[in-house]
Structures are given as structure tokens and as C-alpha cells.
Homo-oligomer: A and B are copies of this chain.
Amino acid sequence: MPDSTPVSTPVCRADMPILYRVVRRQLIADIRSGVFPPGGMLPNETDLARRFAVSVGTVRRAVTELVADNVLVRQQGRGTFVGRLDRERDMFQFLKIAARNGARGGAREFPDVRLHAFARSRAAPHEAQALALQAGENVYRIENVLSLQGRAVIHDRIVIAMALLPGLDRRMFESRSGTIYGLYQSAFGLTIVGADERLRVDAAAPDSAALLGLAPGAPVLRIERLALTFDRQPVELRVSIVDTREFDYVSNLQPAN
């Protein structure tokens, strides 16, 4: 071998940026741009390796990371697919409220969701800041009431830029088949990959109290969630008011091994 060429020529030479990260970035870009749509199957690993001019092992490393992030799904013998925010296993990545009597870490229950309000509005300053928008930018304001075991337990207030969901209307929102994030993904190509949440105790505002069957001012759990897409870009701001008399917020800190 002459000198520094390993075997085949990689992407570039100077400022060599770690191949498997390049591959991963490109896969993410192709998912975002719709080349690989949600639920779609990726080329097999040998093909991907050829396209990127890297070895199969390097492709596997990139794919493995995206699988760990719930972006891709591998199925042995079938192929690798772009993850969808629809199905059971994805629902509870974001819905952390479960019945108190439920088994520890056990199967959880799907909520009944009722749309309470759908409006167009403008972003308040703190909302604009959190969502990286201009102050006063157009946003949707959506309110939902979620019921578990037949009881209204959660009151959600959602704020999201209209620019991200062009043409969304009340009918479209209500007639969705899966989750809200599933709608963002399937109808607008916007994939939620994570969220930051902050929880505290609050006194129920009159509207929340009425919706949840509580006295105004009753103590409730307040969850402020900033949902993120790739590269931690903020997408949606959501405040959930939860009646925790019979339900808990469940959190798993490293369920390793």
C-alpha cells in the first residue's frame, strides 16, 4: 500500500469528520426531506454502504444509533424502516401518566382524547422565546382533554407555529387516526424525536378545574413540555394540567441491564 489511503477513498480527505456521523447526518437529512418517508423501508445495508462509499460496519454503526433514538426500526429478515409516531410502543414515550394501581413499569392504558378548543392566535413573548419564533408570530392554540379509565384527568394546552403545519384545520386535527405527533409526522413531515419537561405543583385555573371536575384552585400537577425535532430544534410547547388523585407521572431513570 502506498501511504495513507486505507483501501477505498472515503467522503473527503482534509478535516475528515468521522464517517459514521456523516452517514448518520445524511440519513437524518434524507428522512427530514422525505426521501425516506415515515414507515418506508431503507435500502439494505450493503446498498447503503455502496452509496456512502463506506463499509457495511460503518453504516451499521450509524443505523444502530438512529435505532437507539427511535428514529429507525430494524426488523431482522425484513429490513430497516423509518420509525412512525403512531404505534403502541411510541405512544408512551411521551404520555407518562398512568394509573396508580398499575403494575410497576407494566402495560399502560390508551387515553380517550377530546378536542376542547382549536384557535389561531399569536405567540406571547415567552412562547416565542421557547419556540425560537418572532414575537407575535402566528400559532395554533389547541386544547385537549384526555380521559383515562373514563375520567377526565389531563388538560392540555398546545402552542405550535402555523408555519410548521400549513393548512391545518379543526376537522383535519380531529379526524386524525393516531396520535398528535403522528399527525405532525404523517401530514407535515415533522417528526418529534424528544422533549424537555419541567413539572411542578400548581393551583388549577378555573377552566382546567371545570374540565377535570375539580374545585378552582385545587392542587394539580403542571407539566410544561417543549417537544423537539432533529438537532433539538424546538417545535411545540405544551402545558398539561393533571389531576393526580388517582394517576401518577412515571419516570424511568436508566432502566439499564
A residues bordering B, Cβ < 8 Å?
Answer: 28, 69-71, 93-94, 96, 100, 104-105, 193-201, 203, 219-221, 226, 228, 230-232, 244, 247-257
CA distance A253 to B91 in the complex (A): 12
Cross-chain contact of A93 among B219, B250, B254 (Cβ < 8 A): B254
Cβ contacts A to B, 18 pairs, < 8 Å: A28-B257, A70-B256, A93-B254, A100-B198, A104-B226, A196-B251, A198-B249, A199-B199, A199-B221, A200-B221, A200-B244, A200-B247, A201-B201, A201-B220, A203-B219, A219-B219, A221-B221, A230-B257
CB closest chain-B residue, reference A256: B69
| Cβ-defined contact, B93 with A253, below 8 A | yes
Of the candidates B71, B228, B254, the one whose C-beta lies within 8 Å of that of A193 is B254
Query: In the complex, what residues of B have CB within 8 A of residue A219's CB?
Result: 201, 203, 219
A215–B69 CA distance with the chains assembled, in angstroms: 44
Q: How far is the CA of A100 from the CA of B247 in the complex (A)?
A: 24
From B100, B230, B253, A197 is in contact (CB under 8 Å) with B253
Q: Which of A28, A96, A193, A249 has the most CB of B within 10 A?
A: A249
A6→B251 CA distance, assembly (Å): 44
For A230, what are the chain B residues with a Cβ–Cβ distance below 8 Å? 257
- Across the interface, which residues of B come within 8 angstroms of A253, CB to CB? 93-94, 96, 194-197
Residue of B nearest to A219 (CB): B219
Which residues from chain B contact A197 at a C-beta distance below 8 Å? Answer: 250-253
Min Cβ gap A32→B in Å is: 11
Q: Which residues of B contact A232 (CB under 8 A)?
A: 255, 257
